[in-house]
Amino acid sequence: MNKKISVVIAAYNEEPRISEVLKVVEHHPLIDEVIVVNDGSKDKTSEVVKKFDVKLIENEHNMGKTLTVKRGISLAKNDLIMMLDADLMGLESDSITKLAKPVLDGRVEWTLSVRGNSLLIYKLAKMDHVSGERIIPKEFFDDPEIWSKPKIGYGLETLLNKSLIDRKKTFCSVYLPELIVTTKAAKDGFWKGFIGEFKMLFQIRQVMTLHRILEQFFGMVYLNHKYSKAPIKK
């Protein structure tokens, strides 16, 4: 495996926010390639992205998060994929380095973030199982189950977790307190944002029963504690 990283960002109507992410990843020394897939945005997301030295891919129409991420990963040229949300605030160069280090050191096979505004229970447990910031080897995305529910966009992370855990791929979480994801209420206003948050939870629930979701969360808490103690491979 080469240690070069391709960043994949799915974007939909992120004109006001995406530049804050791109200005950090564009010239980061660990990042070899940045791919932004614009998922049929109705604003000027594409115009903003074109100001940066990154690859812009345009969906002809809105395809949803799952298929948009899948398209970006399929076009990536490197062995390591960094998944990033387009609406992050507070992303720093050091955030990228910290997320990548456990994988590059050979301590674990993949990582995921715990953000500064993750739920309190996630921060206490050191596990945000639905976090969108991850570094994962490209070959790990070959499981068809990950892409089995393309219309349920917010279920992607849950299905990805299941696939990686079932295959015993080692991981650890990385706490990034500076990292904030923009809430739907901040994007769309209170009521529209509230409906959007409910829709997200409903979609996750469509992918997996509540019992299985809780089982996955607590299982990942245990495995994170176990794998985090792994030594660095020379």
Look at residue 234 and tell me whether its pLDDT is greater than 70: no
Query: What is the average pLDDT across 54-70?
Result: 95
Look at residue 147 and tell me whether its pLDDT is greater than 70: yes
List the domain boundaries for the chain.
5-227
**How sure is the predictor about 181, in pLDDT bands with cuts at 50, 70 and 90?**
confident
Among the four given CATH numbers 3.90.550.10, 3.40.50.720, 3.10.310.30, 3.40.50.300, the one describing domain 5-227 = 3.90.550.10
- Give the torsion sign (CA, 126, 131, 132, 136): positive
Return the exposure string of 32-41: e unless at least 16 CB atoms fall within 10 Å of the residue's CB, then b.
bbbbbbbbeb
Q: Which of 61, 55, 14, 11 is nearest to 35 (CA)?
A: 55
> Helix 93-104 crosses helix 18-25 at what angle (to 10 degrees)?
60
Torsional class of 92: left (φ above 0), alpha (ψ -120 to 50), beta (otherwise): beta
**How sure is the predictor about 183, in pLDDT bands with cuts at 50, 70 and 90?**
low
- The rounded percent of the chain whose pLDDT value lies above 90 is 76
pLDDT in tens, 80-113: 999 999 999 999 999 999 999 999 999 999 999 9
The token pair that represents 219 in the structure block: 């299982």
pLDDT of residue 193: 45
Look at residue 140 and tell me whether its pLDDT is greater than 80: yes
pLDDT in tens, 152-161: 766 899 999 9
Look at residue 198 and tell me whether its pLDDT is greater than 80: no
State the pTM of this model.
0.90
Return the exposure string of 85-94: e unless at least 16 CB atoms fall within 10 Å of the residue's CB, then b.
bbbbbbbeee
Is residue 10 within 8 Å of residue 38, measured between CB atoms?
no
CA dist 167 → 143, 160, 171 (Å): 10, 11, 12
Q: Which amino acid is at 188?
A: D
Give the number of residues written for the chain.
234
